Structure 1
Amino acid sequence: MYEWWSRRLSLLHLDRRPTRPIRSQGTTGSHRQELMVGLFKDGRGAFNGTALKEALDLIEALALTEDVQPVHIRAAPGFDGATWLDLGRDDGQSVRIHPTGWDILTPDPHEVCWRRTQLTGELPLPAKDTDGKGIDLLMRLCNFANAETECLAIAWLIGCLGPSVPVPAPFLTGPQGAGKSTGGRMLVRIVEGMSGDLRRAPKDEENLIAAVAAGWVTALDNLSHMTPDLSDAMCCIVTGAESVKRALFTDGDVFRVGYRRPLLLTGIDVGVIRPDLRERLLPLRLERPRVRRTEAELWAEYAEVLPVVLGSLLDLTVKVRAVEAETPTDLRMADFAHLCAQFDAATGLGALPAYRASLDDLNDDVIEGDLLAQTILRHADTIEPGAAQQMTSTEWLHCLSRLYSGEDGRPLPKGWPTTGKVLSDRLKRLQPTLAARGVLIDSGRTKAGRYLEMTRTAAPASHEQSRAF
């Protein structure tokens, strides 16, 4: 028996297949299940639970004596500036994207170790020498409203192939019947395979984090309302965060889950958008197709062209990454803005101006849904350009409340700030939104106490630049 275990453990060091959890009893496959099958096939019979637990304890103890190797889902950094894309295949074949091209290889475990879950679908082997026709095939299947939207969708897909690039969350919107869910599935399945799909938003943050951490692209379908908790969770998903909770069946141990994942949303209208989420969204508008097709016909064609689409996307990714471009310093998602600048330099298209214009449109949505922001802009119109006005937060609250109520004394709306502290906190959230319209909010302190300062700039530069596009 000792010789059997020694042979098994030695094979683990040579195995280039995706990593397996040691004890999981789920349907994704675990090393526990693999050992049980190996014992049975080698004529050892079926071990009882105690013997198998002791064997797994030994494997865990031996693992602690080895170097720690990180595991990755779907996308991973490699050596010499390369990145990897997991194709989800049992033989471990993956795509290595390097500065001069891309190849289909089985990664060395010292460079990349893949982790698989039930959300990890299989991708087809990408086609070589596509001459870029896969991008055209994809755009023909989707119902994007214009060329600028298509540029942003392609730039987002390229960002999904980079494990270290935070990308904004595409929000597929449009009239009823525009194919938002179908378009979302098509974008997701380029990275997640034909098993990738949209899902409803979980009702609590814990389930959302569990689903996000187990996959790469998370796609939430048919959103009609966005609670503050869901909005905050989406911000964390896009830019990265960590969840820590007590490990099961322990008193003092903890379980850590770190995550930063591409996120995709669909819906006609989600209501009021909070300012912090606005900077992390990428609106993609779709239009109703003129000719309807059956689901079977549409997805049969999509599955047929997917290898060509993936090959063209990989070719374009190599081309874009090879280009040097200046990083815009005025946008929240600087990594994605830099990617858009590289995309424009490589293709001659206008992804970066389209990204700026989309953010400006979202800024309008935030203002239209926030009566306080509208009142502040009304007051700012009374300030001379370049001038500043200082008051305490309580004085600002009285000033803005009187301006909203007007001479007829209409009642203040629900959610209106009730104290100076609440107003100050709301203004902190609205700072980027108001700055895009030429109104700067700052705070300071004098001997008399704290104050808030409102300054009206000569012109809202970002608004005019984006509209010029």
Structure 2
Amino acid sequence: MADDDKNPAREIITDYAQAHFRYFRTADGTVYAQRNGHPVARPIRSQGTTGSHRQELMVGLFRDGIGVFNGTAMKEALDLIEALALTEDVQPVHIRVAPGYDGATWLDLGRSDGQSVRIHPTGWDIRTPDPQEVCWRRTQLTGELPLPVKDTDDKGIDLLMRLCNFATAETECLALAWLIGCLGPTVPVPAPFLTGPQGAGKSTGGRMLVRIIEGMTGDLRRAPKDEENLITAVAAGWVTALDNLSHMTPELSDAMCCIVTGAENVKRALFTDGDVFRIGYRRPLLLTGIDVGVIRPDLAERLLPLRLERPRVRRTEAELWSDFAEVLPVILGSLLGLTVQVRAAQADIPTDLRMADFAHLCAQLDAATGLGALAAYRASLDDLNDDVIEGDLLAQTVLKHAAGADPGTEQRMTSAEWLHCLTGLYTGEDFRPLPKGWPTTGKVLSDRLKRLQPTLAARGVLIDWGRTKTSRYIEIARPAASPPSPEQEAAF
């Protein structure tokens, strides 16, 4: 009997694979292969252009002189390996940023040798992570970062601010807080919205912020036409940057809210009748544009406006990006050093803001540097509330109604009665026509008020819902001003 008959090709491939690779599964059942001692993992079923496990297995067999095998033998071997891996322990894979042991955080530099940055409570260093601790997943969107420079004395922060055209010091500290937040794997961060006049360098500034985290290949992209394509792009990278937004549809607004705070999408798995696969995502998001029109209240709470101004001196693209690439190792090193300082700083957690994790990060940044990031964040949210109110005639009408009521009073009516009251207040004595989108039923009015509730509360108008024995009601109240606290009095 021939040797090949005694030891089939699929067994040769399987033995080689198990000797040179580690196989494991994620919580969604996807099986990954990880070369021994290397932190990068690839799904064994991937046929992607970034290099599949099938390709690296074929190359390894050929270079080690074992042979070249046909597709049937390779498929049978991978089928067996996948079945065996489904009995192994579950381990997550990460893109760009990952939690580590003992409170550490890892940053993938996208290098072929697997070297990464470990940010720990006392500093940061460059090393290759233990595959049992961190498994990196890479896609075409995973760019390579340069090795960061140690002991920069924060020079990189100053270099970054000189290259960007931020309008105020408050904008600069908010941009820093966002960059630090991007290095955290579990902290949701609001989406910076770079605004400013035409020619202010919004796209260029956005690219700079993205490339600090994603490398020089990181770039901005147009907003996809549908949510499915947007989710696919988001799940394949870490920072998602959308350029030159001029209109925000309700669907796109809702999708952005999910991206910032996290969500999961479930779809039918290809070539199956009833199986599904899950895409979980929570990613840093960045937007640029001059004006996106009306901003919905739920998205406004998740935005971070960063205003830019037109530069006094223009530079060529080649010169600008050459200088940026040269100083990027220093910028990244300074950002890592500042991140260590901020995480070590002690600060109270603000409890009145929706993005409490980011507000806490701003408070820690203030404790470490004294920049005033938390006050700047509060002011930015206040400006966004003004934008929401200016773009919503119903919100303006509710505020007008509340302004006519005595402080400390509350008024209860059914949704239909409120609709009649607010419609009459808007149309006035001259019966001006109702605008497009004005509520047409009490139910529509109630839903709109639920969206506007946080925005109106920030302007001192409280809305609540309740029920009597016979009907439901909506209560609109304007609380009386509370006396200043001893701390506020001391401030004066």
Shorter-chain TM band: over 0.9
**Matched AA of 1:38:** G
Report the CA distance between 1:48 and its aligned residue.
Answer: 2.6
Q: 1:24 is matched with which residue: 24, 46, 52? A: 46
Report the CA distance between 1:20 and its aligned residue.
Answer: 1.1
Distance 1:322 1:40 in 2: 50
Distance 1:321 1:211 in 2: 30
**Matched AA of 2:341:** K
CA deviation profile, 1:266-314 (whole Å, cap 9, x unmatched): 0000000000000000000000000000000000000000000000000
CA deviation profile, 1:323-377 (whole Å, cap 9, x unmatched): 1100000000000000000000000110000000000000000000000000111
TM-score by length of 1: 0.97
1:107 and 2:129 equivalent?
yes
Give the aligned partner of residue 157 of structure 2.
135
Distance 2:37 2:18 in 1: 10
With 411-420 and 234-243 compared, the bigger mean Cα shift is at 411-420
Report the CA distance between 1:44 and its aligned residue.
Answer: 4.9
Q: 1:309 is matched with which residue: 327, 331, 335? A: 331
Report the CA distance between 1:65 and its aligned residue.
Answer: 2.2
Aligned residues: 463
Q: 1:193 is matched with which residue: 211, 215, 232? A: 215
Distance 2:231 2:465 in 1: 36
**Matched AA of 1:430:** L
After superposition, residues 290-305 of structure 1 pair within 5 angstroms as: 290-305=312-327
Give the aligned partner of residue 126 of structure 1.
148
Q: Which runs of 5+ in 2 are unaligned?
A: 1-8, 23-35
Report the CA distance between 1:6 and its aligned residue.
Answer: 1.8
With 50-59 and 229-238 compared, the bigger mean Cα shift is at 50-59
After superposition, residues 235-250 of structure 1 pair within 5 angstroms as: 235-250=257-272
After superposition, residues 391-410 of structure 1 pair within 5 angstroms as: 391-410=413-432
1:96 and 2:118 equivalent?
yes
After superposition, residues 344-355 of structure 1 pair within 5 angstroms as: 344-355=366-377
Q: Once the two structures are aligned, what percentage of the paired residues are identical?
A: 84
Distance 1:460 1:152 in 2: 31
Does the 8 Å contact 1:390/1:452 carry over to 2? yes
Does the 8 Å contact 1:442/1:452 carry over to 2? yes
Give the aligned partner of residue 18 of structure 2.
9
Change (3 A) 1:401 1:4: closer
Q: 1:180 is matched with which residue: 202, 214, 220? A: 202
Secondary structure in 1 matching 2:136: coil
Q: 1:210 is matched with which residue: 218, 229, 232? A: 232
Q: Which runs of 5+ in 1 are unaligned?
A: none
1:388 and 2:410 equivalent?
yes
Change (3 A) 1:218 1:420: same
With 21-30 and 297-306 compared, the bigger mean Cα shift is at 21-30
Change (3 A) 1:33 1:4: closer
Does the 8 Å contact 2:13/2:77 carry over to 1? no
After superposition, residues 329-368 of structure 1 pair within 5 angstroms as: 329-368=351-390
**Matched AA of 2:390:** E
Change (3 A) 1:144 1:250: same
**Matched AA of 1:66:** E
Give the aligned partner of residue 83 of structure 1.
105
Q: 1:417 is matched with which residue: 439, 443, 450? A: 439
CA deviation profile, 1:11-49 (whole Å, cap 9, x unmatched): 213231400121222211111111222233344554332
CA deviation profile, 1:85-113 (whole Å, cap 9, x unmatched): 00000110000000000010100011110
Does the 8 Å contact 2:39/2:130 carry over to 1? no
Secondary structure in 2 matching 1:118: coil
Give the aligned partner of residue 62 of structure 2.
40
Does the 8 Å contact 1:437/1:460 carry over to 2? no
Distance 1:143 1:357 in 2: 20
Distance 1:5 1:33 in 2: 15
Give the aligned partner of residue 285 of structure 2.
263
Does the 8 Å contact 1:435/1:460 carry over to 2? no
